[in-house]
Amino acid sequence: MDPLVARARGLWEDLARAPVSFAPPGGVNVVVSPRSRLCPVGWVGVVALGGSAIVTAPSDSIAVIVREALERLPVEAVVDSALVREALPVARALGPAALSYVSPADFRPVEAGALTVEQLSADHPDLRSLEQVAGHEDAGEAALDEITSPAFVVREHGQVVAAAGYRAWPRRTAHVCVLTAPETRGRGLARVTGSAAVAHALAVGLLPQWRAPARLPACCGCIGLRGAGLPAQH
């Protein structure tokens, strides 16, 4: 198995908070884990990675329902909310979120060109100013206020217009966070600052992980079921 996939699988197996491993290719393993960190409390959490998936359920009865439904689906369908809704009485779905990983051997840094990437402390007030400019929703999604690394930023006219850093996750994983000011988006600033954050994580032996828009190695989501002890809203 690709060592990168194996390392990423180890992270999610730990976050399941119950003894579970990814199934052989094409398979889905369902485990009971009320304390799972794959999803909110009381929900069903699903992670597909490397051609197989793990699923956590909050109780034995829900695990039976989910196992019977999801094991009939192709593994790529268990993180497709539309197909899961056809198989289960879904009240609400969160995600899916596509995640990407990179190894030191495959990492290709983004050239900054004429840009200067500056390093700031995670609690620097200029980061809070960027969050205000970006707005509550985008700032909350980026979660720069949760990073445990330095922040890597680009300025224009003295103001921080793009920033990236990472938050320490279990299994020496670095969850990368990126935010750009609305008026500067589409110019590659997120790639430049994000690349700097990834380079920093790799240099200290961490596994970079970040949300990505395309089809990538891992995908995770959460499911709330109707009439099965799970909340309709969260």
Q: What is the pLDDT of residue 38?
A: 95
pLDDT, tens digit, 9 for 90 and up, residues 75-118: 989 988 899 999 999 888 888 889 999 999 999 999 998 999 99
Partnered with residue 173 across adjacent β-strands are 169, 207
Rounded distance between C-alpha atoms, residue 182 and residue 67, angstroms:
43
From 109, 89, 112, 81, select the one nearest 230 (Cα to Cα): 89
- For range 126-151, the mean pLDDT: 96
Q: What is the DSSP letter of 76?
A: G
Q: Are 152 and 200 in contact (CB under 8 A)?
A: yes
From 51, 66, 41, select the one nearest 8 (Cα to Cα): 51
Q: What is the pTM of this model?
A: 0.86
* More confidently predicted of 215 and 128: 128
Rounded distance between C-alpha atoms, residue 210 and residue 190, angstroms:
12
CATH code for the domain defined by 117-211: 3.40.630.30
Domain ranges of the chain: 3-100+214-225, 117-211
pLDDT, tens digit, 9 for 90 and up, residues 36-60: 999 999 999 999 999 999 999 999 9
Rounded distance between C-alpha atoms, residue 69 and residue 44, angstroms:
13
Q: What is the pLDDT of residue 230?
A: 38
- pLDDT-derived band of residue 1, with 50, 70 and 90 as boundaries? low
Q: Are 85 and 71 in contact (CB under 8 A)?
A: no
